[in-house]
Chain A
Amino acid sequence: MNNIIYLDNAATTRISPTVRDAMEPYLDNLYGNASSLYSLGRESAKAIHKARADIAEALHCDLREIYFTSGGSESSNWAVKGAAALAAKQGKRHIISSQFEHHAVLHVLQGLESFGFEVTFLPVYENGVVRVSDLEAAIRPDTGLVTIMQVNNETGTIQPVSDIGAVCKERGIIFHTDAVQALGNIPLDLSEQSADLLSLSGHKIHAPKGVGLLYVNKKIRLAPFIEGGAQESGRRAGTENVAGIVGFAKAVQEAVSGVESKRRKLLPLHEKLYREITKLEKVHFNGSPEQRVINNLNFSFEGVEGESLLLMLDMEGICCSSGSACTSGSLDPSHVLLALGLPHEVAHGSLRISMSGYTTEAEIDRLLEVLPGIIEKLRAMSPLWERIKNRS
């Protein structure tokens, strides 16, 4: 798989060489179970402790507030189900979220609705950003939990989580944020932000798949999500993924310290993509152009279907993603793009380009070289394009 141009870093990322080096001893001869008494086991326990301390330092929180999980979906499942249970104990069964949460939150909320919880899904408007005024208006005496993501995975738009957190704190409402797409792209500082619960994932920041964490503020005591052994202070059972945790800690350090340099590197590429792609006919830029992470751009091309677009890009060795129905595996195109108010047929023609620190200008130039021809080819065989042209 040489010469792949990988522009789907919001889906997953390559493992960085330094992360791999940090992990290697734990994939090799340091294979002890961290719960074992002998020195081989203690080596693993020490490595996990150091990883936790390093992450706590990078994120400015207490190391006892970090619980390692299998990734973002587990973290968000635990956070939302756990916090909902806590709220329900106080008779609070109303939850506020947004219309375009990740399915790891959305499907959990839909499940809670069937158990008698009421959920208000805040609109995200054309710019893909929730409004704090909407949140304030939605709060009721029985609101026990607010869960709103920090950065949307498809549009890259940044949500006002600090303001949301402040509102929640004032009203005594638990606040969870899925920050999976934020880490490494914008500063993340738990000492300043008021999220009580925060989900992170390793594989979006050049660590391996299968590791993540849930930050749980000291004042919250979530019931264990996976029960069994005494790992993670008895809150998350299961023999620890030592190598993954060690790699994750390295990746968190690199992501946090690299936010500014990544931004500096990607800003000109972002601007170039925006400038060149918006020159094409009947193209939409999805989500706020300002309030977004710099590594993500989301476009829709009228008269083009997203899966065909991805397949043609793939034939050129370029990996991107789309929110079309054919790629979402359901009847409707992405719920995120529909929440932005895009008509179905425009959402079907979406293309998400997500860069990483490894993305080069030559790769972006190559994309820009082939993209117009692909759009033209697909439009030439599209009866919908014919209709769009006749309309205008």
Chain B
Amino acid sequence: MIYSEKVMEHFAAPHNVGEIENADGIGEVGNEKCGDIMKMYLKINAGIIEDVKFKTFGCGAAIATSSIATDMIKGKSIEEALKLSNKAVVEALEGLPPAKIHCSVLAEEAVKTAIADYYRRQGIDPEPIVGKIESHCHGDCHP
């Protein structure tokens, strides 16, 4: 299993690591049993993601996908952020080994879960906007 240079770059020096105090939305996906948890924090102002931070327990790909996904949504509108697909994350990382594709799925879910949390805090039902999110790993994400 070989990681791309881009994955190693993000793993070695991940962007946007940390937490946001008084975050407007927090999303956590994955579970410790499967060996990966991603937690994403959003600061949202007038529909724009002003800041985003993450904390991840997981493999190199889990950390790299978290890092690049936060880069990809920072400064973007919620609408744009919701369009972030796991495929786009994989492409931005110049590919992932097949066994690690689930990490990109987790990254996409982490963003959506955090946005759903933001809407929930606003008293808005997120499901019509964000869709239904499988917010935890069923253990079937590894091939």
B32 touches A344 (CB 8 A): yes
- State which size class the interface on B falls in: 20 to 34
> Is A329 at the interface (CB under 8 A from chain B)?
yes
Enumerate B71-129 residues with CB–CB distance to A below 8 Å.
Answer: 99-100
A386 touches B59 (CB 8 A): no
Residue of A nearest to B53 (CB): A381
B56 to chain A: which residues have CB within 8 Å?
381-383
B142 to chain A: which residues have CB within 8 Å?
325, 330-331
Residue of A383, A385, A386 with most chain B CB atoms under a 10 A cut-off = A383
B59 touches A326 (CB 8 A): yes
> Is A308 at the interface (CB under 8 A from chain B)?
yes
A325 touches B34 (CB 8 A): yes
Q: How many residues of A contact B (CB 8 A)?
A: 24
Residue of A nearest to B137 (CB): A331
> Is B48 at the interface (CB under 8 A from chain A)?
no
B14 touches A381 (CB 8 A): yes
A305-B36, A305-B58, A348-B35 known; A383-B63 Cβ under 8 A: no
A305 touches B59 (CB 8 A): yes
Q: Which of B1, B33, B61, B99 meets A345, CB within 8 Å?
A: B33
A331 to chain B: which residues have CB within 8 Å?
34, 139, 142
A302 to chain B, nearest CB (A): 10
B100 to chain A: which residues have CB within 8 Å?
326
A283-307: contact bitstring with B at CB < 8 Å (1 yes, 0 no)?
Answer: 0000000000000000000011101
Docked Cα-Cα span, A385 to B32, in Å, equals: 10
Chain B contacts to A: CB under 8 angstroms: 1, 8, 11-12, 14, 17-18, 28, 32-39, 54-63, 99-100, 139, 142
Chain A contacts to B: CB under 8 angstroms: 303-305, 307-308, 311, 315, 324-326, 329-331, 333, 344-345, 348, 380-386
22 interchain pairs (CB within 8 A)? A304-B57, A305-B35, A305-B36, A305-B57, A305-B58, A305-B62, A307-B59, A307-B60, A308-B63, A311-B11, A329-B1, A330-B142, A331-B142, A344-B35, A345-B32, A345-B33, A381-B18, A381-B55, A381-B57, A382-B56, A383-B37, A383-B39
Query: Apart from A325-B142, A330-B142, A381-B57, what 16 extra A-B contacts exist at CB < 8 Å?
Result: A305-B35, A308-B11, A308-B58, A311-B60, A326-B35, A326-B100, A331-B34, A331-B142, A344-B32, A380-B17, A381-B17, A381-B18, A382-B56, A383-B28, A383-B39, A383-B56
